[in-house]
Structures are given as C-alpha cells and as structure tokens.
Chains A and B, each alone.
Chain A
C-alpha cells in the first residue's frame, strides 16, 4: 500500500473507449475498498466502493472488480470522456482500523 514517487503510472485512452485502471492492494485482511478520483488542485473525490463479500459493483459508467485471491482491484470506466482525466487512487481499509491505506495512483489521460 505504499505510494511510489513522482512518476505516476500513466494510462492513455482514446475518448469514447473504455478505461481499465488496476490496483494491487497490500493487506489480505482488508475488507473495504474505495476508488477516488483526484483532479489537479483538488481533493480526492469518491467514485465507488466495494466490500470484500462482493466481487463486482456497478455505478454510473463505472464498475469495480475485486479479486481477493490475488489481492487485485480494478476500476472500469465506460465511454471515457475528457472530464475523466485525473489521477485515480484505490484505497483499502479494515473495520478494525480507521485509516485508509492508499495505492500509488494512476494518471488517466484522454486522447481526443
């Protein structure tokens, strides 16, 4: 769950295509996971969450998939739009713990 340095992984996607952002989480005891979107100069914005008793959850244009076997989380964004350009973070939490542990972040770039 430790974040890496200044060089964020980057994903470039054509406008209108689907985007898939991946995250490996660190703690097998984590039971709650969240995706956040952070635009430049702003705080993180909640996108979607999922508890460990589920493996898929859908929102508006977004889907989160959870694979507990390999400790992997993904965020799928359908029909990517220019407004989706941002850094996306996954975060994990355990019920017994009040802090979120954040992943490294992925910068999503939309190509016109």
Chain B
C-alpha cells in the first residue's frame, strides 16, 4: 500500500517563475492538505482540498493555488515566485476528519 507520494523531490526555479507540485494521497484517503515548511520551523498550513474544492485556506497569498482531481490527487501551483518561497512543501492526506494526517516526503523548492 503506497503512502503519500510527491513529485518532484527537488526543484530549482528563479524569481518570477511559476511552479507546479504534485501529490498522490494514501490509498483510501480523499482529503489532501498542503503545508509549507521553512528550515528549522514547523509546517504552516496552506490549504486543504476535499471533493475537488478548497475547503479551508491558511494565511497565504493568492499566488498559491491548488487543484484536486477526481482520483483525489492534487497539485499546488505557485506563481510569481519570490526568494521567500524557498521551502519544503509537504502534502498530507487523510480521511474526512483531520485525524492522523499522513505526510509525503515533500518537494524541496529553491528559488534563486
């Protein structure tokens, strides 16, 4: 049973570019959450998707957008990249409740 898978594992972009990160949830999970984790800090909630809709959003600008597909997989898009967007981006999946989130290994994004 595959856990949460994310791609790519590493990515290097320059300021102003756009990026798309991908996530496949754990089998049997229908809810996907995205978190941003800066070095040495705890993850910060970006948003959560359920039934192909954004159910809740954290304190992130509109440059951060997402999508969930009918097979429950999800994408995170970031436009007009800033240096401060450099971080580890984590995808987590769960059932309908927020209990026992399972995380992927993340995508390390570096913005130069």
CB of B42 within 8 A of CB of A3, answer: yes
| Interface mask (A91-106 → B, CB under 8 Å = 1, otherwise 0) | 1010001111111110
Also in contact, A44 and B103, with CB within 8 A (given A98-B55, A99-B48): yes
Tell me what chain B mostly uses at the interface: helix, strand, loop, or mixed. Answer: loop
Q: Is B18 an interface residue (CB 8 A)?
A: no
A102 contact set on B, CB distance < 8 A: 42-44
CB of A100 within 8 A of CB of B4, answer: no
CB of B98 within 8 A of CB of A44, answer: no
Tally of A-B residue pairs with Cβ under 8 A? 67
CB of A49 within 8 A of CB of B100, answer: yes
CB of A46 within 8 A of CB of B101, answer: yes
CB of B4 within 8 A of CB of A43, answer: yes
| Number of residues from B at the complex interface, CB < 8 A | 24
Give CA–CA (A100, B103) in the complex, Å. 13
Distance to closest chain A CB from B35 (angstroms): 8
Q: Is B66 an interface residue (CB 8 A)?
A: no
Distance to closest chain B CB from A3 (angstroms): 4
Also in contact, A4 and B56, with CB within 8 A (given A46-B101, A49-B99): no
Q: Is B33 an interface residue (CB 8 A)?
A: yes
Also in contact, A6 and B103, with CB within 8 A (given A43-B90, A98-B55, A100-B98): no
CB of A93 within 8 A of CB of B90, answer: no
CB of A46 within 8 A of CB of B102, answer: yes
Give CA–CA (A41, B104) in the complex, Å. 11
Distance to closest chain A CB from B21 (angstroms): 13
Q: Is A45 an interface residue (CB 8 A)?
A: yes
**A46 partner, pick from B33, B42, B44, B100, beta carbons under 8 A:** B100
Interface residues of A (CB under 8 A from B): 3-8, 32, 34, 36, 41-46, 49, 89, 91, 93, 97-105
4 more A-B contacts (CB under 8 A) besides A43-B104, A46-B102, A100-B45? A44-B43, A93-B98, A99-B98, A105-B40
